[in-house]
Structure 1
Amino acid sequence: MKNLKRTLAMLLALSLSAAATACGGNSSSESEGRTKSQDDVSIDTADSAINAGDPDIKGQTIYYLGIYDLNPTANQDRTVALTLFEDVYGAKIETIKTTSETLFTDLANRINGGDPVDMFDYQWDSVPNGVEKGQYEYLDSYIDLSDPIWDGMKDLIEKYKYKGHYYVVPYSVSDYIAITYSRTLIEEEGLTDPYKLYQEGKWDWDAFMSSMKTFVANAEDGETRYGCAGWFGQAIVQSTGESIINYDGKKFSSNVMNEKIEKAELLEEELTRLSLFDPTWYGTYPNDGSILYYGMAPWHLGQSNVMNPDGDLFLVPFPKMPGSDKYYLCGNAAAKMLVKNSDKGDAVAAYIKCERLAATQAEYKQAAKEKALIETKTAAGKVTSYLTEEQYDFMQTWYSSEDIVPMFDFGYGMGTRMSNETYAYETRGVMNNFMDGLLQKYEGTPGTWAEMRSAWQGVVDEVVDEFNAKQ
């Protein structure tokens, strides 16, 4: 019953958040359409020369298979990248809508059936599994990685390099798992603001645990408190800077015996043993004062602000491992894949370039900020989501800080034995169990890291051998 309630709560939260966030939309094959004829925040592209020297793609249409429409719907503005792609390059994107359940089936059917499809979102399964299935082309011939616009991203791009080629070229990193908290609640509890600790380089596991223990200990008789809730397992393990699967450019190897990973798993054991972690799925930061820290990518923040008008919400990166000089964070690599057999390689590369320019050029970043700070309202004028300028500005510093390193693990892209998000311990992927099994405690989950590692280590070795045979 506990797992059923958790699952239903998760599904409800996800459906609400999808409807409320800027990237949200329905999952049907039809676009909602746009209710305004021009953008609220315009971008002057009249004198832009960003396409100088690039192949002429004017009049071309990219067929993009995705869950969400890259074109604006309802009262949305065009994104900066789409504006550049349409107004400077003279090309357009047609979205072929799919769902999270049929995403990969639809991709395979279109490739095999010869139906048009050129571009697809990078997914965890894209590399190496998707490449080995023959679903993608590499981008080496289309993108000039020596262009200065790729400075600051090259280290991450190299992490994704597979068999000597660049199938995945991230143009930005988004949705770092962050810790959202109420500054009002922190002050009421007499705790040190995590932002202050972060600024002083002291925001680590020890500070994180200490504040949660104090918060829970301060509970009055009959009051139930937890230190944290949300997406924590992956964030904890990857904050070590270690991956479950390593790749040296030629061979994969298992890293499950790593001492840092073991320390992260022991931290998860402690969170469970002390009842500091609440496994309930919350779609927004809880507004009842029962949770100190909410671990989640910032997609929730706009709605959480509305739900917590007096909370003075803020957020910080996930705490680092004690002794580390870096914050290793799990997030999403924003990238687009060039689909196998597409004849629009130049156009897809141009769109990727537009996304990179939007993420790095000052004038475009300012426009993106102005768009992000526009309140989301219902037709009746009720505010349903908003970000504060302070929140937005601080989050942007994460993407240029030398102290923050985005994490990537090939283990998520090695098939369903390794990555499969179900709600049963025996059928979940190894990566899923290793990341949060000790926190979620699905039926049959061992109580210790040593037991779990022993149970799944053989599967890891088998999968590693399988993919090494394809090198």
Structure 2
Amino acid sequence: MSKSKSLSLLTFFLVLVFSLAACSSGNNNNGAAETTPASQSATAEAPVSSEPSASEVAPAEETYDLGGREIVISHWWDDTPNADTPAGEERLKRISEVEKKYNVKIKYVNTDWDTYAEKITTSVMAGAPLADIVYIPSNTPQTLIKGGYIVPLDDYMNVQEETKLSDEIIKAASYGTGKTYGFLTAPPLFDNKGLLYNKRIFEESGLPTPEEDIKNGTWNWDTFVDVLKKLTISKSGSGEIDQWGLTGSAHSVGTPLIYANGGSLYDETTQKVVADSPEVIEALEFQNKLYNEYKVFKRDEGNDWEDPARYFTEGKVAFYPTGIFEIEPRFLANMKDGYGFVPWPNGPKAKSADFVMGLNQMHVYAIPRGVEDPKTVYKIWEDLQNFDTIDEDNRTLAESYFSDEDSVNEAMNTFKIAKYELISGFGIEEAMGQLYRDVVDGKVTPAAGIAQVLPTMQASTDKIVKGN
């Protein structure tokens, strides 16, 4: 045995003796002296190095050099972050890190909603995509996919293994193709929907709030009608109605009533439009009664987008059907009265006691055909996101929109009650939108109206889904 090896053994035995002596000395330090880290359990034959092994060393982050290229990201609003807010500061910091990592410059552009799809297609056809990454409205992905205007991530990477996308997003953004064309960190809170209610009106009426009805298990159409009737009054005493129960566009009321009654407009499995189901017919009949029999509805004055929101802001209406994206620009700073947020009440044919929020497919990001280095471009987008704080960010947003905990919780709960139907771009929404108006205007009955438009909706759906 070599001299050095003899010394090693001697050292080991001395350490062992002193260790045993320490253990038997009665030292009670919450067991600290009885526990030896694995990294210190050395043997004379195989001493453990103090240097970390190759497997323990974190790999250096991969860097890229795109030569200062400008990466353009398009929305239908200006998404350039503002340093005036903590969230804006955080985004700007992240952008700076990404720009350094990839040697690029990030630029956000605002593309008009009305011409968005057209600009995507024409720019791709011209060989100069309008942006490297486009945020696509929910009514256009399938048309763009059929036309070959956006590329699937699967052509450039293993989506399951090489991205942070959830299974939910991968499935939803495949549109039945088996390939992932769109991407998103998660369904966004601002796309979700429900009902706003005026707190002052409820306080003055002495009625239970919708939130109380939810907790009591009585938030249904019967309760809804009763409340709407009691809140549609002449406050002045002149006999002329000056406070109404409900307002909104015909579309913003008709569609959520269908989902709240357990209905659907499209069966993805059979690829059939199912707007003639009993659930849908009953929902349209109920909508007609709200307008014409119960007379609890404040109609617009020619602008079904601006007028209803104005009525609610002015405190003339108890309920307003809202998209959460409307809260900040329309009500947060403009409304004197407090407001709460709840889901639509269940109809008599609801499939369960759970509420349902019907949504079209999500708006998603995509990469247009012709963009250079699509895999790297996707990775740039991914690095710009914070996947670890999605729930926290959504709750922070909800807390900035609503002043009470119940409304915040109801807003967050929209993710659990969401029902997505892949109907955007099929022509179904457009046909139903006109039908809602015709029904509430008394031009047609729900059953007769559905029978008239069903063949057109099915034909337009087949054109997209089956590529006819």
**TM-score (normalised: structure 2):** 0.70
- Measure the CA separation in 2 of the matches of 1:178 and 1:448: 26
Q: Who is 1:41 aligned against?
A: none
Measured against aligned partners, the alpha-carbon deviations of 1:339-365 in whole angstroms (never above 9, x if no partner) come to 122224332354257546165264x56
**1:211, distance to aligned residue in structure 2 (A):** 0.8
- Measure the CA separation in 2 of the matches of 1:327 and 1:143: 37
- Is 1:119 aligned with 2:133? yes
- Is 1:132 aligned with 2:152? no
* SS in structure 1 of the partner of residue 232 of structure 2: helix
* SS in structure 2 of the partner of residue 283 of structure 1: helix
Change (3 A) 1:365 1:127: closer
Give the letter for the 1:70 counterpart.
D
1:229–1:295 contact (8 Å) kept in structure 2: yes
Aligned pairs for 1:181-260 (under 5 A) are 181-216=197-232, 220=237, 221-230=239-248, 231-248=252-269, 252-260=271-279
* SS in structure 1 of the partner of residue 241 of structure 2: coil
- Measure the CA separation in 1 of the matches of 2:170 and 2:245: 32
- Is 1:409 aligned with 2:422? yes
Q: 1:336 aligns with which of 356, 360, 365?
A: 365
- Measure the CA separation in 2 of the matches of 1:349 and 1:318: 39
- Measure the CA separation in 2 of the matches of 1:431 and 1:269: 14
Change (3 A) 1:86 1:392: farther
**1:191, distance to aligned residue in structure 2 (A):** 1.4
Q: 1:348 aligns with which of 370, 378, 389?
A: 378
**1:57, distance to aligned residue in structure 2 (A):** 7.4
**TM-score (normalised: structure 1):** 0.69
* SS in structure 2 of the partner of residue 413 of structure 1: coil
- Measure the CA separation in 1 of the matches of 2:407 and 2:64: 36
Measured against aligned partners, the alpha-carbon deviations of 1:60-108 in whole angstroms (never above 9, x if no partner) come to 5432233212212595653856653542555553233322232222212
Change (3 A) 1:266 1:158: same
1:177–1:318 contact (8 Å) kept in structure 2: no
Measured against aligned partners, the alpha-carbon deviations of 1:297-323 in whole angstroms (never above 9, x if no partner) come to 1333344243333x2211112223344
Give the letter for the 1:438 counterpart.
V
Q: Who is 2:387 aligned against?
A: 357
**1:457, distance to aligned residue in structure 2 (A):** 1.5
Give the letter for the 1:243 counterpart.
S
Q: Who is 2:354 aligned against?
A: 326
Change (3 A) 1:407 1:469: closer
**1:431, distance to aligned residue in structure 2 (A):** 3.5
Aligned pairs for 1:363-382 (under 5 A) are 369=397, 373=400
1:70–1:95 contact (8 Å) kept in structure 2: yes
Q: 1:84 aligns with which of 70, 73, 94?
A: 94
Q: Who is 1:290 aligned against?
A: 316
Q: Who is 2:285 aligned against?
A: 266
**1:146, distance to aligned residue in structure 2 (A):** 6.4
1:240–1:264 contact (8 Å) kept in structure 2: yes
- Which runs of 5 or more residues in structure 2 are unaligned? 1-58, 301-306
- Is 1:277 aligned with 2:297? yes
- Is 1:109 aligned with 2:109? no
1:172–1:356 contact (8 Å) kept in structure 2: no
- Measure the CA separation in 1 of the matches of 2:255 and 2:60: 42
**1:156, distance to aligned residue in structure 2 (A):** 8.6
**1:456, distance to aligned residue in structure 2 (A):** 0.8
2:219–2:346 contact (8 Å) kept in structure 1: yes
Q: Who is 1:454 aligned against?
A: 451
Aligned pairs for 1:376-395 (under 5 A) are 388=403, 390=405, 393-394=408-409
2:170–2:180 contact (8 Å) kept in structure 1: no
Aligned residue pairs: how many? 384
Change (3 A) 1:407 1:276: farther
**1:185, distance to aligned residue in structure 2 (A):** 1.1
* SS in structure 2 of the partner of residue 179 of structure 1: strand
Measured against aligned partners, the alpha-carbon deviations of 1:167-203 in whole angstroms (never above 9, x if no partner) come to 2344223332221112221121121111122234432
1:118–1:344 contact (8 Å) kept in structure 2: no
2:357–2:414 contact (8 Å) kept in structure 1: no
2:173–2:180 contact (8 Å) kept in structure 1: no
* SS in structure 2 of the partner of residue 227 of structure 1: strand
Q: Who is 1:47 aligned against?
A: none
- Which runs of 5 or more residues in structure 1 are unaligned? 1-50, 374-385, 420-428
- Measure the CA separation in 2 of the matches of 1:406 and 1:133: 27
2:196–2:340 contact (8 Å) kept in structure 1: yes
Change (3 A) 1:396 1:180: closer
Give the letter for the 2:338 counterpart.
D
**1:257, distance to aligned residue in structure 2 (A):** 2.0
